[in-house]
């Protein structure tokens, strides 16, 4: 096996408590840009082509394992948090014994570390034929981190923890990120780590010295941007990480031809695909498995989750879409709510305060104002009047309604499901349909209008004094009726 294509196993340390989060949720499950922090580490490992990924769990182990189930990782439980060296050993124990793989250590709480950076680390490690490479960074004040101690020739000698460091060592600016890449010897050498230090912990950092004692080649690879290994330790660190990842994502979209006039206000999860010449207005949120095709505009403060927007769709301000498929050229909103199972054909018009759910609307359907369309199929070019309600729920069960093509539904109609309305039918405004309507028929289902002449004069005349005080115009009208 050559250096370059040696398999890679990844051990992700995620057993620590993270008390500074002040949370009942395990630290590594706090989401950043739509994904639990530990899932970022898993994704990074996958992006690097890892053969096996082990996640070491401890605090909140059951929750962490449940969150990662189905991702193909294996788990190693660390019942007591005796230190990073001990955690690593548990992780190694869960790797299958096939020899010859490099081992990479990542933490579950550093979501900003980019796979590209680790690729460089991997290339550097293999190009130099290093046995153990530690990823380091440099900060004017590296307080809190382990420091990299080099010998007179500039070679990495050891890592000293903050609490074990002398004043001179604490002045060192090069720090240990906690990420290491090592050859297969780690499986044996890690067993020799002891807890003989100020903290009484098993330090994974001691592994570096153990490699050196073997006469093996030990290297450091320095990060261009030390911020990449910034751990999110509290809520404020989470928000910082969030804004950095969000900026990376919006910038990548802008480079690819997306217009985002106020990118600092826009939130796009990294699972979302956005085509060229799409415009995302301020305050837009795009989540989950969403795909947005060329030329679409998403209006201000709209939230789109798990939806497909085909070419040239226009979503107007303050619309909320979830699990919806919108055909080319359709326009939606402002203030529309499209819920799961909504499918719109081409050139559909959905106006303000329209809610849809499990609704298939064929091309050219118009529902311009104030409607609820649930569990319904609507044929091409049907016009849904303002205030139309498909009453799909009888208190116990949901029922479907079928509306044909070219139907005209008058305003404020209620279709009591299950209902069928034939093509080209016409429904008078204000109807409450409790029967089906045949093709081409006109349905009127409402009380017949009755006008009672002179009623107002008799009614208000009986309240003459109050009308004089409160309704002067009406008082004048009464006077003119004599
Ligand atoms: C460790 C390094 C330090 C480095 C720093 C970078 C050691 C001894 N020190 O510091 O040199 O600068 O990381 O952030 O390794 N964890 C477990 N089980 C444990 C202990 C920790 O899974 O028993 C996990 C934590 O969940 C975390 C990671 O390991 O993801 C690092 O633990 P943390 O306590 O933050 O490391 P430090 O000792 O501060
Ligand atoms: Ca730490």
Residue 244 belongs to a domain: no
Do 386 and 283 share a structural domain? yes
pLDDT recorded at residue 100? 81
Do 107 and 72 share a structural domain? yes
Tell me: the pLDDT tens digits for 365-400?
Answer: 999 999 999 999 999 999 999 999 999 998 999 999
Do 267 and 187 share a structural domain? no
What spacing in Å lies between the alpha carbon of 13 and ligand 1's midpoint? 8
Which DSSP state fits 373?
E
Tell me: the pLDDT tens digits for 108-117?
Answer: 999 999 999 9
Do 405 and 307 share a structural domain? yes
Do 471 and 424 share a structural domain? no
**Hey, CA dihedral for 429, 431, 436, 441, is it positive or negative?**
negative
Residue 212 belongs to a domain: yes
Task: Determine the average pLDDT of the residues in 149-173.
Answer: 95
Look at residue 177 and tell me whether its pLDDT is greater than 80.
yes
Do 142 and 103 share a structural domain? yes
Query: CB-hemisphere CA count at 13 Å for 234?
Result: 4
**Domain total in the chain:** 3
Q: How confident is the model at residue 210 (pLDDT cuts 50, 70, 90)?
A: very high
Q: How confident is the model at residue 34 (pLDDT cuts 50, 70, 90)?
A: confident
Mean pLDDT of the chain: 96
Task: Determine the average pLDDT of the residues in 263-269.
Answer: 96
Do 371 and 326 share a structural domain? yes
CA distances to 301, 324, 338 from 332, rounded to whole Å, are 13, 11, 9
Do 58 and 37 share a structural domain? yes
Strand intervals (E) in 7-89: 8-14, 31-32, 35-36, 52-57, 74-77
Ligand closest to CA 15: 1
Residue 3 belongs to a domain: no
**Which residues lie closer than 8 Å to 376 by C-beta, 6 or more apart?**
358, 359, 360, 390, 392, 400, 401, 402, 403, 415, 417
Do 434 and 304 share a structural domain? yes
Q: For this structure, is 59 an active site residue?
A: no
The number of the ligand 1 atom at minimal distance from the alpha carbon of 201 is: 8
Residue 395 belongs to a domain: yes
What spacing in Å lies between the alpha carbon of 49 and ligand 2's midpoint? 26
| 463: nearest Cα among 474, 453, 452, 451 | 474
Residue 295 belongs to a domain: yes
Q: Domain span at residue 293?
A: 257-443
What spacing in Å lies between the alpha carbon of 232 and ligand 2's midpoint? 9
CB of 411 sitting under 6 A from ligand 1: no
Look at residue 360 and tell me whether its pLDDT is greater than 80.
yes
pLDDT recorded at residue 3? 59
Ligand 1: residue of 16, 108, 134 to mutate (most ligand atoms within 8 A of CB) is: 16
Look at residue 403 and tell me whether its pLDDT is greater than 70.
yes
Say how far residue 38 (Cα) sits from the centre of its chain: 14
Do 365 and 414 share a structural domain? yes
| 14: nearest Cα among 38, 35, 33 | 38
Task: Determine the average pLDDT of the residues in 217-236.
Answer: 94
Tell me: the pLDDT tens digits for 86-106?
Answer: 999 999 999 987 768 999 999
Tell me: the pLDDT tens digits for 425-454?
Answer: 999 999 999 999 999 999 999 999 999 999
Q: Is the full-model pTM beyond 0.85?
A: yes
Look at residue 4 and tell me whether its pLDDT is greater than 70.
no
CATH number at residue 37: 3.90.550.10
What spacing in Å lies between the alpha carbon of 119 and ligand 2's midpoint? 23
Residue 245 belongs to a domain: no
Residue 234 belongs to a domain: no
Residue 156 belongs to a domain: yes
Ligand closest to CA 41: 1
Ligand 1: residue of 21, 84, 172, 202 to mutate (most ligand atoms within 8 A of CB) is: 84
Do 432 and 463 share a structural domain? no
Which DSSP state fits 100?
T
Domain final position from 183, 210, 229:
229
Look at residue 261 and tell me whether its pLDDT is greater than 60.
yes
Ligand closest to CA 237: 2
Do 332 and 415 share a structural domain? yes
Task: Determine the average pLDDT of the residues in 65-82.
Answer: 96
pLDDT recorded at residue 199? 80
Q: How confident is the model at residue 198 (pLDDT cuts 50, 70, 90)?
A: confident
Look at residue 1 and tell me whether its pLDDT is greater than 60.
no
Tell me: the pLDDT tens digits for 241-256?
Answer: 999 999 999 999 999 9
| 293: nearest Cα among 271, 326, 252, 320 | 326
Taking each helix axis as running N to C, give the angle between helix 37-47 and helix 61-68, from 0 to 180 degrees, rounded to the nearest 10.
50
Tell me: the pLDDT tens digits for 270-311?
Answer: 999 999 999 999 999 999 999 999 999 999 999 999 999 999
CB of 108 sitting under 6 A from ligand 1: yes
CATH number at residue 334: 2.160.10.10
């Amino acid at each position: 096996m050559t250096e370059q294509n040696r398999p890679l196993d990844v051990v992700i340390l995620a057993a620590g408590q993270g008390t500074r989060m002040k949370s009942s949720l395990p630290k590594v499950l706090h989401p950043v840009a739509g994904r639990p922090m530990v899932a970022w580490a898993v994704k990074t490992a996958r992006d690097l082509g890892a053969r096996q990924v082990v996640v070491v769990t401890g605090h909140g182990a059951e929750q962490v394992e449940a969150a990662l189930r189905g991702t193909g990782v294996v788990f190693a439980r660390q019942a007591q948090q005796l230190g990073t060296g001990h955690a690593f050993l548990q992780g190694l124990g869960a790797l299958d014994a096939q020899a010859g793989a490099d081992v990479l250590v990542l933490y579950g709480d550093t979501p900003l570390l980019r796979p590209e950076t680790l690729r460089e680390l991997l290339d550097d490690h293999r190009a130099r034929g290093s046995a153990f490479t530690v990823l380091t960074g440099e900060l004017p004040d590296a307080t809190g981190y382990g420091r990299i101690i080099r010998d007179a020739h500039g070679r990495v000698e050891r890592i000293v923890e903050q609490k074990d460091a002398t004043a001179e060592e604490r002045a060192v600016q090069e720090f240990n990120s906690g990420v290491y890449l090592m050859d297969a010897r780690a499986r044996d050498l890690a067993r020799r780590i002891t807890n003989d230090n100020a903290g009484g912990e098993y330090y994974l950092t001691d592994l570096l010295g153990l490699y050196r004692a073997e006469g093996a080649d030990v290297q450091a690879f320095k990060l261009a941007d030390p911020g990449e290994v910034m751990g999110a330790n509290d809520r404020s660190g989470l928000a910082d990480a969030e804004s950095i990842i969000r900026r990376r994502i919006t910038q990548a979209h802008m480079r690819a031809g997306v217009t985002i006039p106020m990118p600092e206000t826009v939130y796009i999860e990294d699972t979302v695909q956005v085509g060229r010449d799409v415009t995302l207005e301020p305050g837009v949120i795009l989540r989950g498995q969403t795909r947005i095709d060329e030329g679409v505009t998403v209006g201000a403060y709209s939230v789109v989750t798990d939806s497909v927007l085909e070419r040239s769709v226009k979503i107007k301000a303050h619309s909320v879409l979830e699990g919806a498929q919108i055909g080319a050229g359709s326009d939606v909103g402002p203030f529309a709510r499209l819920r799961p199972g909504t499918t719109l054909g081409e050139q559909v018009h959905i106006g303000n305060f329209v809610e849809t759910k499990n609704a298939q609307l064929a091309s050219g359907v118009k529902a311009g104002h104030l409607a609820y369309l649930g569990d319904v199929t609507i044929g091409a070019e049907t016009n849904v009047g303002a205030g139309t309600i498909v009453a799909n729920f009888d208190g116990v069960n949901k029922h479907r309604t079928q509306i044909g093509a070219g139907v005209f539904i008058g305003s404020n109609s209620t279709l009591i499901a299950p209902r069928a309305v034939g093509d080209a039918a016409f429904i008078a405004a204000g109807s409450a349909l409790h029967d089906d309507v045949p093709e081409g028929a006109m349905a009127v289902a409402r009380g017949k209008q009755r006008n009672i002449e002179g009623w107002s004069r008799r009614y208000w005349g009986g309240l003459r004094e109050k009308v004089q005080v409160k309704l002067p115009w009406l008082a004048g009208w009464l006077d003119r009726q004599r």
